Amino acid sequence: MLRAALRCRTLVPRSRRSPCLRRPAFRAPRASSSSHAASARDAQLEEATAFVVRVGAVREGKTYSRDVAEGVVAALADPASGVPLSALLPTLKQLAGAYEIGEDNGLDALAAAVEREVNERAGKQLVHCSIKAGSASFDVSAYEGTSLYDVVRRGEDDGARALQSYLECACSGVMACSTCHVYVAPAWFDRVGAPCEAELDMLDLAHEPRDNSRLGCQLVFTPELDGLELEVPDGANNLMDHIPFEDRG
């Protein structure tokens, strides 16, 4: 039968042979497969980006900008990072730690680095602020749109490190404590603005509140606040120390 088939193929004129080998039928599956892979990759990147946004909203009390979340994901998805796409979301979850209770295993530092690059590309202004804490005085700086809490959690210069030793920020910036309580210099208070009702309720529980008190997590830097003067109280009431957590041991 094999010889018969070969003879038939030899005897059939070329013009009458089936043109099946010239059909592009084998190209379509490759294109479809490539498109499917691209869609799957896009879905994984979107899922990872949404996770970073969710972590920021829960732990920081504010959502990371879309640009920052996408930058974090892009940094880890880059082949140079050594993280395969399949491990992208698990890696982000490991870096986030138990973010619901304020834990962090490195995601915040990565987001801070990306956020600085995003702010620089966007041409945002660096706002400077002078702080007095007891007998110490130092300067801190932050890009417009960030808060004093962000300086404590993400700042890396000498001023930020000094501030970290004075403001605890125990509730991770969700206005559930008063450990980021500061006094705004009277000359600056109108420009900073008055606190909302929820902030006032928490300030009532702060250490020695004054008419010019604000919570650092709600004090957002703007270009108009360049040169802002703040003072740190000589004590802090940490309500988080008195929350009766259930012992699961």
Helix (H, G, I), strand (E, B) or coil at 212: coil
| Contact call for residues 180 and 167 (beta carbons, < 8 A) | yes
Angle between helices 66-77 and 107-121 (to 10 degrees): 120
SS3 191: helix
What is the 3-class SS of 133-146, one letter each residue?
ECCEEEEEEEECCC
Residue 37, pLDDT score: 86
Look at strands 136-143 and 126-133 and give their pairing.
antiparallel
* Predicted TM-score of the model (pTM): 0.69
Dig out the tokens for 109 from the structure: 């530092």
Q: Where are the alpha helices (DSSP H) in the chain?
A: 2-11, 27-59, 66-77, 88-96, 107-121, 148-154, 158-164, 186-192, 197-203
Residue 77 and residue 120: Cα distance in Å, rounded?
22
Question: Which domains are delineated in the chain?
Answer: 37-121 (no CATH), 126-241 (3.10.20.30)
Structure token digits, residue 127: 């706002």
Which DSSP string do the residues of 32-62 spell out, in sequence order?
A: HHHHHHHHHHHHHHHHHHHHHHHHHHHHSSS
Six token digits for residue 185: 């210099």
Q: Tell me the three state secondary structure of residue 131.
A: strand
Q: Position 187: which residue type?
A: A
The per-residue DSSP string of 175-241 comes to: SS--TTEEEEPHHHHHHH----HHHHHHHTTSSS--TTEEEGGG-B--GGGTTEEEEE-S----GGG
Query: Is 191:225 a contact under the CB 8 Å cutoff?
Result: yes
Amino acid present at 133: A
Angstrom distance (rounded) from CA 151 to CA 159: 9
Q: Among 149, 139, 131, which Cα is nearest to 218's? A: 149
Using CA atoms, how far apart are residues 174 and 29, in angstroms rounded to an integer?
51
Provide the 3-class DSSP secondary structure of residue 225. Answer: helix
Give me the tens of pLDDT residue by residue for the chain, a chain 249 residues long: 434 433 444 444 444 444 444 444 445 455 567 888 889 999 999 999 999 999 988 875 566 788 999 999 999 999 999 999 999 999 999 999 998 887 889 998 899 889 889 989 999 999 999 999 999 999 999 999 989 998 998 887 899 999 999 998 888 788 889 999 999 999 999 999 999 999 999 999 999 999 999 999 999 999 999 999 999 999 988 866 554 434 444
Q: How many Å apart are CA 165 and CA 131, to the nearest integer?
A: 13
